[in-house]
């Protein structure tokens, strides 16, 4: 349940704090006062995209936050726990969002950074928002099908159909990817020829690295021998006093002087160690130089091997280090070509098995849909009669898909057929001409389908548009009944709906320092009478209007 909502520098609201309780809460106000700001803020907290227009003129950023109780939202609690967002308090959740004046935004869940996708997922467990133009979405057959499945609670059946379809689709893709046709023998011959050339070469990573290293060494033998010889000459003294001899002489001199200055003994020992290292270095240099051998035949062999590998690399458009992967791929392709017919038979059997599994799952879903369609039709028809459409009815038509292949959504298409008045044949909801009738029919469908919904908070943003009179009173009573099991927040311009609320807030505009600001206040019993009297109409409120407003509240 939504406990509180806080807005700062949002649209025309400088700072608004809004607390809600259980039951049905009504929000009213003059046109343009900002009644829908609260709904807009909740949509943004639910992951909707923001823009710079959300920030109040002159402010750097807008801040939005909402606090929800979790006692009646177990799905939200599970989501928070699963995504490590539970926070310190396990019975409450806070959504927060900051929108900058340049349109950028950041979001938090229980004080931790979150993505818009995460806000969307979590908010779907906490609230549903129904706008005044939502009935247009009901004209879509896909939306109608989703509503029927939601009403019937077909979660398990839908999952089974989707899983069977996924298996069938994966097998179908595998089957379609198999090579086939009269050119398979020619492909096998070509694949064998390419593979034979690669198999003849040593292509593992270590061998390639060794080949490149050996080629570099053979290509530079003369330079290497000259460099080693010159280094040995410098170390051994062929060009003057050798480093090792000079170091030994210096160490002996320091050792003789150590009797007069003990610190020189340590330096003499260091020079001895360095002399040993120099001698070992000279020995290793001599071994390396002696190992070097200018071998034109070996160099030619290495050149030939590398030329073959580079040619193969150019053919397959990879560096020589990638030839091993090409060989592996060709091996798999050859196996697939040789075994294509056998594998095709196996996959065809598997495809038939998955299609049968899908058909069985789809049949179970179809049966559930038939039952749910009857119940939804009866519920909506009853509500249509309550909403002033006597004799009106809704029929949910299910028709088998023409495509024989499996479909992830099931085996049938759906369409809502309605008759707005007694004696009229049902016709597609998409062909209902009257805006007022469409609003009432859509409201009846929404209310009927919402009854089984697990989401604790439901928000209606002027869904009563296009109706009035006694029908408006029925709408108000219907929403109040819905509030027995859900928290209902209703933005309305109809006094009959407003009188049905358990609590009432009024949104108004004020002019402060040349700026128009929106503010919200909870109404007392007396103030509520005044507000409903204002909604009833007339520039000047009369005692008769106030008396009528009081009567409406007493009935609500």
Contact 517, 509 (CB under 8 A): yes
Report in angstroms the alpha-carbon separations of 196 from 193, 327, 331: 5, 9, 10
Question: Are 510 and 519 spatial neighbours (Cβ–Cβ below 8 Å)?
Answer: yes
Q: Do 383 and 163 touch, CB atoms closer than 8 A?
A: no
DSSP string for 377-439? HHHHHHHHHHTT-TT-EEEEEEEE-S--S--TT-SEEEEEEEESSTTPPPEEGGG---HHHHH
How many structural domains comprise the chain? 3
189 and 104 housed in the same domain: no
Q: Does residue 420 lie in a domain region?
A: no
pLDDT of residue 436: 60
Handedness of CA 84, 88, 92, 98 (dihedral sign): negative
236 plus 211 within the same structural domain = yes
Domain harbouring 513, CATH code: 3.40.50.300
Count of beta carbons in the 10 Å neighbourhood of residue 25: 23
551 vs 548: CA distance, rounded Å: 5
386, 474 Cβ separation under 8 angstroms:
yes
Q: Let me know whether 193 and 329 are in one domain.
A: yes
Q: Which of 338, 371, 404 is the last residue of a domain?
A: 338
pLDDT (tens digit per residue) in 314-364: 888 989 888 888 898 888 888 878 877 788 888 999 999 999 999 999 999
User: Using 50, 70 and 90 to split pLDDT, how confident is the model at 212?
Assistant: confident
Quick one: tokens of 269?
């020992």
Same domain, 493 and 529: no
CA distance 198 to 328: 10
Facing residues of 6 across strands? 17, 65
In this structure, is residue 256 part of a structural domain? yes
Instruction: Say if 477 falls within a structural domain.
Output: no
Same-domain check for residues 123 and 224: no
Is 58's pLDDT higher than 50? yes
Helix (H, G, I), strand (E, B) or coil at 485: coil
Give percent above pLDDT 90 in the chain: 26
| Distance from the Cα of residue 134 to its chain's centroid | 24
Mean pLDDT, the chain, whole residue set:
84
* pLDDT surpasses 80 at 209: yes
Say if residue 498 is in the same domain as residue 553. Answer: no
Pair (540, 517) in one structural domain: no
In a domain, 153, yes or no: no
267 in any annotated domain: yes
Burial 344-355 (b: 16+ CB within 10 A, else e): eeebeebbeebb
Domain extent, residue 18, equals: 1-132+456-472+484-522
Residues 1, 27, single domain; the answer is yes
Q: Are 343 and 336 in contact (CB under 8 A)?
A: yes
Mean predicted confidence (pLDDT) in 206-229: 77
Same domain, 464 and 527: no
Residue 421: how many CA atoms within 13 Å on its side-chain side? 5
Q: Which of 338, 355, 374 is the last residue of a domain?
A: 338
Residues 97 and 74 placed together within one structural domain of the fold: yes
Predicted local distance difference test score (pLDDT) of residue 556: 67
Q: Is the pLDDT of residue 451 over 60?
A: no
pLDDT digits (tens, 9 = 90+) for 70-123: 988 888 988 998 998 886 666 889 999 999 988 889 999 998 999 999 999 999
Establish if 149 belongs to a structural domain: no
Statement to judge: residues 122 and 218 lie in one domain: no
Which one of 314, 338, 362 terminates a domain? Answer: 338
Total-model pTM: 0.60
In a domain, 239, yes or no: yes
- Closest to 411 in 3D by CA, of 353, 377, 372, 368: 368
For 18-68, the DSSP string reads EE--SSEEEEEESTTS-TTHHHHHHHHHTT----GGGBPTT-SEEEEEEEE
- Per residue in 124-171, pLDDT (tens digit) is 889 888 775 555 667 788 888 988 998 888 999 999 999 999 999 999
User: Is residue 401 in some structural domain?
Assistant: no
Whether 489 and 554 share a structural domain: no
Residues 6 or more apart in contact with residue 460 via CB below 8 angstroms: 130, 479, 488, 489, 490, 491, 492
Longest CA–CA span in the chain (Å) reads 130
CA angle 114–117–118, rounded 5-degree value: 45
Strand 24-29 relative to strand 427-428: parallel, antiparallel, unpaired?
A: unpaired
């Amino acid at each position: 349940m939504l406990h509180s909502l806080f807005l700062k520098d949002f649209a025309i609201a400088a700072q608004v704090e809004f607390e809600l309780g259980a039951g049905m809460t009504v929000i009213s106000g003059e046109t343009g006062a900002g009644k829908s700001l609260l709904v807009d803020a909740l949509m943004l907290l639910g992951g909707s995209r923001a823009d710079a227009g959300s920030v109040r003129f002159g402010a750097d950023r807008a801040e939005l936050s909402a606090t929800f109780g979790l006692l009646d939202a177990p799905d939200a609690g599970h989501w928070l726990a699963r995504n490590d967002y539970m926070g310190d308090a396990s019975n409450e959740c806070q959504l927060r969002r900051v929108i900058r004046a340049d349109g950028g935004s950041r979001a938090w869940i229980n004080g931790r950074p979150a993505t818009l996708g995460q806000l969307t997922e979590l908010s779907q467990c906490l609230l549903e928002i129904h706008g005044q133009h939502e009935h247009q979405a009901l004209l879509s057959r896909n939306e109608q099908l989703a509503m029927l499945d939601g009403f019937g609670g077909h979660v398990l059946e839908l999952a089974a159909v989707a899983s069977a379809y996924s298996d069938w689709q994966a097998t179908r893709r595998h089957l379609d990817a198999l090579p086939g046709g009269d050119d398979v023998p020619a492909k096998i011959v070509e694949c064998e020829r390419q593979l034979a050339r690669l198999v003849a070469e040593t292509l593992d990573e270590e061998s390639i690295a060794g080949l490149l290293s050996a080629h570099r060494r053979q290509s530079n033998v003369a330079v290497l021998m000259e460099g080693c010889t010159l280094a040995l000459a410098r170390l051994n003294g062929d060009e003057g006093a050798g480093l090792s001899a000079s170091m030994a002489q210096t160490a002996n001199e320091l050792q003789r002087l150590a009797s007069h200055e003990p610190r020189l003994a340590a330096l003499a020992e260091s020079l001895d160690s360095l002399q040993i290292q120099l001698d070992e270095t000279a020995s290793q240099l001599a071994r390396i130089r002696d190992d070097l051998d200018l071998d034109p035949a070996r160099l030619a062999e290495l050149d030939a091997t590398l030329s073959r590998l580079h040619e193969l690399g150019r053919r397959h458009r990879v560096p020589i280090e990638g030839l091993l992967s090409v060989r592996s791929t060709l091996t798999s392709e050859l196996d697939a070509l040789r075994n294509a017919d056998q594998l095709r038979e196996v996959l065809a059997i598997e495809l038939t098995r998955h299609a049968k599994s899908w058909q069985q799952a789809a049949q179970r879903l179809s049966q559930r849909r038939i039952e749910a369609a009857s119940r939804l039709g009866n519920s909506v028809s009853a509500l249509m009669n309550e909403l002033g459409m006597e004799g009106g009815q809704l029929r949910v038509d299910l028709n088998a898909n023409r495509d024989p292949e499996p479909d992830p959504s099931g085996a049938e298409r759906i369409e809502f057929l309605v008759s707005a008045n007694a004696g009229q044949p049902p016709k597609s909801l998409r062909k209902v001409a009257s805006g007022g009738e469409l609003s009432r029919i859509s409201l009846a469908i929404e209310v009927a389908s919402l009854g089984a919904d697990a989401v604790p908070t439901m928000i209606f943003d002027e869904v009563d548009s296009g109706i009035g009179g006694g029908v408006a009173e029925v709408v108000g009573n219907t929403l109040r009944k819905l509030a027995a099991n859900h928290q209902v927040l209703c933005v309305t311009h109809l006094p009959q709906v407003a009188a049905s609320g358990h609590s009432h807030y009024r949104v108004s505009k004020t002019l402060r320092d040349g700026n128009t600001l929106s503010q919200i206040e909870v109404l007392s019993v007396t103030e509520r009478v005044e507000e409903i009297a204002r909604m009833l109409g007339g520039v000047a409120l009369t005692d008769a209007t106030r008396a009528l407003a009081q009567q409406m509240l007493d009935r609500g």
